[in-house]
């Protein structure tokens, strides 16, 4: 079985970035499928799948520099876990999106995506293994006839926003309404302890630098050829 996975990351500075980048991502996905997959041998049984989610850094999640030019960063944290679990539900016809991204899309001035609700799924390690609501962006070319048979429809902005907001607030021990710290329009509100946590995260990272090493043996486990990333104090600290 063949398969490759790419992670595209962008830094969001204001709410409008969410819609712009997501639209570019969807357009690029469709163009790649049309120009590369459908017109080459790759179209013989292979296809393209995608997932989209948002994650906050450096509070809540971490970005670690690995020192490898071909793969310079590693991302860890609960939001990253959610995204990777959601990716298992993707298909060539749908792009799953996280619940906070679904809400953030609805906060924009425009709402041009065809969003459907797949239902609740248990995602291992996410939300204490409680059922997680899965929205997705639909990529079918002519969905209306099939939707009529299945008696389903794309969702309006109000329906998505209302459900997503209520679910996030009901699970506020694990989730919170999304916000962008630099957003002049102030989408969402900063958690009460966010500034303090941001200061602690930035202070903690100042005394660290990343190093990579290769090892033929790690406690009896053969990791020959693999890279390990460690965080060590800078000299003099």
Report the alpha-carbon distance of residue 149 to residue 142 in Å, rounded.
13
Strands (E) located in 113-217? 115-121, 132-138, 208-214
Report the alpha-carbon distance of residue 23 to residue 14 in Å, rounded.
15
Provide the angle, in degrees to the nearest 10, between the axes of the packed helices 99-106 and 15-32.
110
**17: closest CA among 178, 157, 218?**
178
Provide the angle, in degrees to the nearest 10, between the axes of the packed helices 157-170 and 99-106.
130
Model pLDDT, residue 214: 31
Model pLDDT, residue 105: 92
Model pLDDT, residue 50: 93
Tens-place pLDDT, residues 32-75 = 888 777 666 555 667 789 999 999 888 888 888 777 666 677 88
Model pLDDT, residue 64: 83
10-residue mean pLDDT series, the chain (237 residues): 72 89 91 76 71 90 76 84 95 94 87 89 95 94 75 86 96 90 73 82 51 32 29 31
Spell out the domain ranges in the chain.
49-213+223-232
Q: What is the pTM of this model?
A: 0.77
Write down the mean pLDDT value for the chain: 78
Mark 38-73 as b/e (b = at least 16 C-beta within 10 Å): eeeeeeeeeeebbbbbbbbeebbebbbebeeeeeee
Model pLDDT, residue 185: 62
């Amino acid at each position: 079985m063949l398969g490759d996975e790419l992670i595209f990351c962008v830094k969001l500075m204001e709410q409008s970035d969410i819609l712009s980048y997501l639209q570019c991502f969807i357009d690029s996905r469709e163009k790649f499928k049309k120009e590369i997959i459908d017109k080459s041998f790759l179209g013989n049984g292979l296809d393209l799948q995608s997932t989209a989610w948002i994650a906050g850094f450096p509070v809540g999640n971490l970005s670690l520099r690995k020192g490898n030019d071909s793969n310079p960063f590693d991302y860890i944290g609960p939001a990253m876990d959610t995204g990777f679990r959601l990716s298992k539900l993707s298909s060539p016809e749908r792009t799953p999106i996280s619940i906070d991204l679904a809400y953030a899309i609805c906060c924009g001035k425009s709402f041009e995506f065809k969003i459907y609700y797949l239902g609740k799924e248990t995602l291992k390690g996410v939300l204490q293994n409680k059922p997680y609501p899965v929205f997705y962006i639909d990529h079918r070319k002519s969905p209306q006839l099939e939707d009529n048979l299945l008696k389903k429809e794309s969702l309006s902005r109000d329906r998505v926003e209302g459900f997503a907001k209520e679910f996030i607030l009901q699970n506020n021990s694990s989730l919170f309404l999304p916000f962008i710290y630099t957003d002049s329009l102030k989408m969402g509100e900063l958690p009460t302890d966010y500034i303090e946590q941001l200061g602690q995260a930035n202070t903690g990272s100042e005394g660290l630098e990343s190093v990579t090493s290769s090892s033929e043996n790690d406690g009896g486990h053969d990791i020959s050829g693999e890279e390990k990333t460690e965080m060590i104090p800078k000299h003099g600290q």
